[in-house]
Structure formats: structure tokens, C-alpha cells
Structure 1
Amino acid sequence: MKKASGFEIIAARCWNLLNEGKPFTPIFTIGVYALYHMNAWGDGSFWLHFGLGLLAAFPLFALYFYYDFPLFLRNYLWLPVVAALVLWRDAHLELGLYATAIGLFLFFTIYFWGTFYYHLRIGTSWWNFKRFWKLVLKNSDSTSGNAQEQLPKFLLLLFVIDTAGPYLADGAAARGDFTWSSYVGFVVGVALYAYILHRNLFDWKPKEIEGYTVPVEKPEQASSGKVFVLVVDGMRKDRFEEANVPFLKKWRAEGTEYTQMETVYPARTVVCFSSMFTGTYPREHGITSNMVWKLGIKVESIFDSLRKVGKRGRLLGIAHLIDSMGDDVESVTAVMHNDKADRNIMERAKLIMAEQNPDLLVVQFIATDQTGHSMGALYDEYRQKIEEADALIAEFVTWLQEQGHAENATFIVCADHGQADGIGGHGHLDEGERFVPFFMYGPNVRGGVKVEAKHSLVSVAPTLSYLLGAPLPSHSRGPVLTEAFGKEKAEG
């Protein structure tokens, strides 16, 4: 299987500018306004109006970049739009501008992204738009495809640019009852409004663990085999329960299951992987979305810890993960038919074991997540990808056993996050995102155990340190998952 090329790595970063909601809002707003007035590009007064309008709108751009307005909070975004229309009710409304913006947004999300892009990248049908429009309208998470969040944002911003620019350039007569003092009051009011909403209503983030991980000594008699972390990206817990996955459910029954394993906030792939393998939260490791502005995590990872004791770990995953984990990532191209993706990843995992023989191998299976994004998480195609991952993992484990890599090995099976409805979005911990399947299996793992207490994926890194005899990563906060280890052994 091909590695992600340099072009693909750069393209993935560029795509995140359009995929992630925060950078998308200003890019789309500015782009739409410029395109709509294309005929006026040769007129110097247009650029003066445009520039002053952008300057006036800058505080709102900043507010919308800072505040997410996740889940139900997006409903409150329409109040500033209504307030602006009432406050400046005599202002000229360029209806064609707003119609163009809505049309381009729907074209970008439903056809360009949901059909053209996914067809070229993972082979979805040219008719995918017939389903994708529903996903865009339902999507509740932090992507540009969240129509209910993006529409009120860019409509207000376009109104301000189109109204404030001519006023500042030409005076009061240009835009009716719009005044500088009223606009300053409006911006201050929106800022207070956003602050109050987030202070009082944004209360569903997972509680962070205080203090750092307490070291746990591994018993001297415990074996030190390899560790494999098999991550089915975006596997929703309830859909896993519905799926026909005999191999994984057998392992779960014969190993230790954590029934309330919670992901981190925001539940985006690069964020979650960074937290899983550093043991800490985004505010410390520095990765706060899939759009990584400054490459590399700020703290030690489990891979750094392994190097301190002469051991090696590898993370097999898509190009996005290079932005946080750098050279510890064995990248795979994400440009392939989705029906072949996980099969090719498994074959690459075999190659890594044969050529490099790492002590820790993390494998990211991507087809389930990609199906959720492109086709929705509540359809049969999504469940089928979970079932395909089960068969591939069973095949991979058989190969590991035949090659002698599985002797005394410990396996961790989990998801990095779940999937919401809509575009299979994830980020703000909507229903289906927060809790993920998580269980361990191996000769040193207790059999038939269910741990009902709430745990967090930040416990993955310290648990790997425990299993592999490595020091804890520098900022590890999650406790070692000691409930999985004891005198009782898994069988089979």
C-alpha cells in the first residue's frame, strides 16, 4: 500500500481549511463577496468598500473563530442576524448576494464535497448528493458542512461587510440608518451574548483529570510481549453492538471491557489520537482540531517514552496524523476506493511487522469513519464497514500468530470517537460520539471482566507505558487501566 505522498500531505492540510468550520467561515464569506462583485474588480471604490467592510466585520470574524456555538447553541446564532436586520432596517439588502452565498454553500457541501470529492477520493457514487443533502442539514458538529451553524454566520458577516463598507467610505447616506456607534454597540452586544451563552449553557465537555498519572509498577513475573492498538476510526458504540462482529465480540467477552470509555473534546481524529498517545488533553498537547496550525505535539508521546528504554513504536494512519505525531507515523494514502482501504491498511501493517518488528503497533482502520462522513452513520453501509473491520482484524491476528508476533501480546481494540448523525460528523460530542467501544485481550488480561466506571481515552498512553515497561509520557494524566490485569487470564 502506498504511503501518503508529499502532495497528499499538503493537500490534506489545505482541505482542512475548508473542512473545519472555523477557517471555513472567513474563507467562504470573503470568497463569496469577492466573486459576487467580480464585475467591479476594476473599480477602485469597490476595493475601498470591501476593505473597510472587512475591517468593520473583523471583530465578528474573531468572535465566530473563538466561539464554536456547538450542538443546540447554533440555534442562538439567528438572534444576532434578526437583531441586525431590526437595528438597521433601512439598510439596503442585496438579496442576490445572500442567494448566491446560500447557493454556493449548498453546491460546495452537497455536490463538490459530498459527491465530487468523495467520488474521486474514496469512490462513492455520483448520486451521493441524493443522500448527502440530508446529512448537511442534520450535521451538528464542527465542520463546514454544518448548515445550521454556517448559514447564520456567513449571512450576518456578508450583511455587515456590504453595509459597513459603503458607510465608512461614503458616509451616512450610503446605507440608510447604519451608524458607527450603533455598530460598535451591536458588536459589544454580540460578544456579551456569546460569552453568556457559553458560560451558562456550554456545560457538556468531559471533566478533565486533575494531576498527573500515578506510576504503577509492573509485576516482575509479568511477560513483556508486544502491544497492538487496533483503532476502528469513528466506530459508533451502538452501531458496533448492532453489527455482526463475531471475532471482536468474542475477544470482548474473553477479555476486559470498559463500558464507559469517554473520548476527549473536541472529538476530532487528530485531537483524539494526540490525547490517546500522550495521555493528556488538547490544552496541553496543543492539537485542538484536525486543522493543525503549528505542527507537532507540545509534550512527550508514548513513542518518545519507548525510545528512552530502547523500544520502538509505530502508528500506521492517514496523513492528518503526521501533523501531530511526525516521524512516528507510517502514513497511508487516503486516496483509494473505500472498499479497499482497510484491506490495504492491514497488508501494510503486516509489512511493518515483517520489516520493522516494533514493540508497539497502532493501526488506524479508516473505512468506517469515511463511510460515516460520506454516507451517514445510521445507514447499513456504515454497519457493514464495522463488520468488514472485524473480519480483517481476525485475519491480521491469525497472521500475527503464524509469524510469532502474537506471543504474550496484548491487544487493545477501540475507536477514537463515535459518529453523530448528519455527515457522520464528530467533534462536539453529540449523541453517538462521546462513548466508544474499548476492550483489551491477551494472556495477561483478565477474562470476562466488565469495568462500568467512567474512564477516558487519555488512559491509553499510561497503560501502554505500563505494558511495555516504559516511563510515563511527560504530561500523562490518565490512570493506568489496572482493572484489566490480574491473576485471572483470558482464554482462547
Structure 2
Amino acid sequence: MKKASKFEKVAARCWNLLNEGKPFTPIFTVGTMILYIIFRIGEAPNPVDVFAGFLGIVPLLIIYYLFDFPLFLRNYLWIPYIAYLMIWNQVNLGLLLFAIGLYFFFTVFFWGTFYYHLRIGTSWLNFTRFWKLVLKNSDSTSGNAQEQLPKFLLLLSLWNFGTASTGWTGKELSMLAIFYAGILLFAWILHKNLFDWKPKVIPTYTDNVDVPGNAVNEKVIVMVIDGMRKERFEEAHTPFLDYLRKNGTEYTRMETVYPARTVVCFSSMFTGTYPFEHGIKSNMVWKLGLKVESIFDSLRKIGKKGSLLGIAHLVDSFGSDVETVTAVMHNDVADRNIIERAKKIMDEQDPDLQIVQLIGTDQTGHSRGVLYDDYIEKIQEADALVKEYFEWLQEKGKLENYTFVVCADHGQADGIGGHGHLDEGERYVPFFMYGHSIKKGRRVEEKHSLVSLASTISYLLGAPYPDHARGPVLIDAIRKDVELNETEENYRIPSSL
């Protein structure tokens, strides 16, 4: 399987400028106005007036960048636009219809059809489903029509007004300043009083148990089934994963972090802390690298090795600790190729910690939606591949004293398999542990956070906790009576599965 090339890594970062909602808004607004002016042959306005009009919307671009309007808060975005119509009462219908058409062309055809066909092999008819996903989407990407539409319609209307011959006179600028002050106050009040569903931050660093003098396990394997929605997992036929969770310890209320974006979640899972501390606040990473230690740093302190096999995006936070896989391949073979690469890494490097990211489920959710059979089928394929890899590890003698963890980094909401704002289906993720030192048949109903994964791995492998790890060790899953002479045979999976 190919590694992600340098070009793919750069391309992934560039794509995030259009994929992530915050940078998309100014890029789309400016691009739309430029294209509109170009197409108005013979009627092009004075460039100085265009630039003056643009300067007039810069404060609003900043406000929209600073404040999220997630989930039901996006409905309030129409109020400033209504206020604009009441104050200035000027609409360029041609410009707005052009913008709406361009937006749906970008999301439904370019992204939802052309891009996904070239990257993962979806049908050229994917637009027949994708348009519905764009209308229902509730995540933090550019595909969230209910958030993007009121934003760029207001921005373009104000820009067009400021470009007109009457433009921003002294009186108009005063009104505009008051208008922006009102929007700023409006956004602040909304977020202070209504934006209250983020997970609570654990206030202290990991201190619920000391790291043992001797490692509990020789190996820890973590299989991250990216974007696996918990209730859809429950509906799928997954005999192997079901066996692991029922004969190990399952955390039924394992909570992801906010925003629930892949690079953010992985950064939190393997540093043990939150975006405000590790510095990765979206998939759009402006400054590469973590600000804190990761589990890989902790393992290096005791001469042990960790390996993370994942997509190019993860390089932005974990750097050389990531063994990249190309995400440009047909989705039907993506996870198969990843498993084969995982085997090769284990054969050649024999890491003490191996983390494997399976991407097929997440990509299907994004391209085809999570409430369709396609998504269930990908979860079932992941079950078969995890089983195959587990049995391969046993045959190679790699599971003599181990813990095997299966989880998702985030769930997915309706729409374009949306995730980010913790809509229904995103917050709680499948999470269970199995192995020699893990209690059998235990279900933990109390709420826990994925930030506990880093410190738990440290505990099992006898490494110091990452320097900013806040998640408590999941000690209620770990046996205190581990028999050193217990054999692999005690943990061999029945062949009937």
C-alpha cells in the first residue's frame, strides 16, 4: 500500500481551506464576487470601489471566524440578514442567485460527486443523494448549507452595497459600525447563554493512580474505526467486535471531544488533553505539531516504540510518529490495504504500541450518509478485518501479554456523515478493551472521555503519563489479579465467530 506522498499531504492541507467552514466562508465570498464581476462583461465596477466595499465587510468576516454558530444556533444567522434588509433595503438578486448556484455546484457536484469519484471511487451519480445530505448537514464544514447560506448572503449583500456609487458614506459607515457592534453583541449573548453542550473539561492532570513499576502489558493494540456511529454499530452484524466487548470491558458512555473533527480527536486521544492545550482546534492546522507531549514521547522515555498508521492529515499534529497511508484509493479496498500495511509494520518494527486507523466507515458516511445500508456494510467489513488482524497477531505470537482496544474517534450525524459540533450521533462512541489484564464481561456505565486513552496506554506499558494528560486511567477495566502464567490460549477467540 502506498504511503501518502508529499503532494498528498500538501493537497490535504489545501483542501481543508475549502472543507473546514471557517476558512471556507471568506474564500467563497471573495471568489464568488470576483467571478461575478468577471462575468459582468462591460459592466465591471471600478476596482477601487470593489476594494472599498470589501474593506467594509472585513469586520464581519472576523466575527464569523471567531464565533461558531453550531446546530440550532445557525437559525439565528438569518436575523442579521433580516436586519440588513430593514436598514439598507438593497438586494442584488442576480449576485445572490449566482452565489447560491455556485455554492451548490461546489458542494453537490464538485465535492460530492467529482472529488469523491476521483478520490474513493463513488458513482458519478452520487449527486442524486448528496444534495439531501448538504441540506441536512449540521457539522462544521463547508457542506453545512444551513450555516453557510445566511453568512455569505449577508457578506455579499453588504459588499455589493459598499461597491455601489453611493457606497460607504460617512453616515453609512456609522450605521455599519453600529450594525457590526450589534452582531458582535448578538453573537456573544447567543454563545454565552445557549452554547452549553460542550463536554466538561477535566480540571486536573492525571493523578488517579501511579504508573506501575513494571509494565502491565508487553503490547497494546488500538484499532480506531474512524467515524463509527454508536447506534449504527449496535445495528450492524459484528460478531467479532461483539465478542470482544462482551468478554472484555465496555465503556457505554465514552465521550469524544469538541470539536469532534478527526485530527482534533486523535490529538486529544493520544496526548490526554484538550484542543485549548494541545493546540489542534480543527482539521485545518495553521501551525504544525502538538504543543504538549504525546503518548509516543512518553514511550520514548523508557525506550519503547509506538506506531500510528493513519491518513496524511494526522501528520499535521503527530509528525514523524505517523506512518501515513494514502487516502486516494477506492473505498472498497481502503481498509483492506490498511490492514495489510499494519501487518507489515508489525513484522518489520514490532512496536510496543500500534494504533491503526480504519477509514472506510468514515468515508462512506461522508460520501453516502450514515442512515443508509452502505454505512452499515462498512462497519461489518471493519469487523471482519479486525478479526483477521487479531488472528494474524495471534499466529505471529504478538499477543502473549496484551490489551486490544477498539474505539471510534467520533460518531457521525445525519447529512454528509457530519461531525464536529456534537450533533446527535457524534458525542458518544464505541469503546471497549480486551486482553490478559482486562476484566471480562464488565460494562462501565459512568461517563468517561477519550482523553483517558493516553494515560491508560501509559499505565499498561509502564510509561510516564504525557506531560499534560488530564484523563484518568481507566483503572476500573484493569484486573488486579493478573496471573503471569496465564497463556494465550485463555484468550483465543472461538473459531465459530
In which range does the TM-score fall when normalised by the shorter chain?
over 0.9
Taking the aligned partners of 2:391 and 2:39, their CA distance within structure 1 comes to 64
* Preserved contact between residue 228 and residue 411 of structure 2 (Cα < 8 Å): yes
Q: CA deviation at 1:45?
A: 5.5
Structure 1 pair 61/244, CA: closer, same or farther in 2 (3 Å)? same
Taking the aligned partners of 2:477 and 2:238, their CA distance within structure 1 comes to 22
Q: CA deviation at 1:32?
A: 0.3
The one-letter amino acid of 1:356's match is Q
Aligned residue number for residue 117 of structure 1: 115
Matched pairs, number: 485
Taking the aligned partners of 1:395 and 1:146, their CA distance within structure 2 comes to 37
Taking the aligned partners of 2:13 and 2:41, their CA distance within structure 1 comes to 30
Taking the aligned partners of 1:457 and 1:154, their CA distance within structure 2 comes to 35
* Preserved contact between residue 53 and residue 168 of structure 2 (Cα < 8 Å): no
Taking the aligned partners of 1:215 and 1:17, their CA distance within structure 2 comes to 40
Residue 376 (str. 1) matches residue 369 (str. 2): yes
Q: CA deviation at 1:164?
A: 1.7
Aligned residue number for residue 154 of structure 1: 152
Residue 295 (str. 1) matches residue 288 (str. 2): yes
Identity, in percent, stands at 67
Aligned residue number for residue 175 of structure 1: none
Q: CA deviation at 1:406?
A: 1.3
Alignment equivalent of 1:258, drawn from 232, 251, 273: 251
Taking the aligned partners of 2:159 and 2:87, their CA distance within structure 1 comes to 15
Aligned residue number for residue 180 of structure 1: 173
Q: Secondary structure at the match of 1:316?
A: strand
Taking the aligned partners of 1:364 and 1:259, their CA distance within structure 2 comes to 21
Aligned residue number for residue 26 of structure 1: 26
What's the RMSD between the two structures over aligned residues?
A: 1.7
Aligned residue number for residue 85 of structure 1: 85
Q: Secondary structure at the match of 2:447?
A: strand
Aligned residue number for residue 485 of structure 2: none
Q: Secondary structure at the match of 1:425?
A: coil
Aligned runs of 1:146-225 on 2, under 5 Å?
A: 146-166=144-164, 171=169, 179-214=172-207, 216-217=209-210, 223-225=216-218
The one-letter amino acid of 2:265's match is C
Structure 1 pair 309/35, CA: closer, same or farther in 2 (3 Å)? same
Which range moves more in the overlay, 144-153 or 209-218? Answer: 209-218
Taking the aligned partners of 1:21 and 1:200, their CA distance within structure 2 comes to 23
The one-letter amino acid of 2:32's match is V
TM-score by length of 1: 0.96
* Preserved contact between residue 52 and residue 168 of structure 1 (Cα < 8 Å): no
Aligned residue number for residue 278 of structure 2: 285
Taking the aligned partners of 2:214 and 2:20, their CA distance within structure 1 comes to 48
Taking the aligned partners of 1:423 and 1:363, their CA distance within structure 2 comes to 24
Aligned residue number for residue 145 of structure 1: 143
Aligned runs of 1:347-358 on 2, under 5 Å?
A: 347-358=340-351
Taking the aligned partners of 2:10 and 2:212, their CA distance within structure 1 comes to 46
Aligned runs of 1:330-409 on 2, under 5 Å?
A: 330-409=323-402
* Preserved contact between residue 53 and residue 167 of structure 2 (Cα < 8 Å): no
Q: CA deviation at 1:53?
A: 1.2
Taking the aligned partners of 1:424 and 1:190, their CA distance within structure 2 comes to 31
The one-letter amino acid of 2:133's match is L
Aligned residue number for residue 479 of structure 1: 472
Aligned residue number for residue 308 of structure 1: 301
Structure 1 pair 66/246, CA: closer, same or farther in 2 (3 Å)? same
Residue ranges of structure 1 left out of the alignment (5+ in a row): 173-177
Residue 63 (str. 1) matches residue 55 (str. 2): no
* Preserved contact between residue 216 and residue 461 of structure 2 (Cα < 8 Å): no
Q: Secondary structure at the match of 1:475?
A: coil
Q: Secondary structure at the match of 1:4?
A: coil
Deviation readout 1:86-133 (Å, 9 max, x if unpaired):
1112x3x22111010000000000011001000000000110000000
Q: CA deviation at 1:313?
A: 0.3
Structure 1 pair 168/345, CA: closer, same or farther in 2 (3 Å)? farther
Q: Secondary structure at the match of 1:179?
A: helix
Q: Secondary structure at the match of 1:184?
A: helix
Aligned residue number for residue 429 of structure 2: 436
Taking the aligned partners of 2:212 and 2:185, their CA distance within structure 1 comes to 55
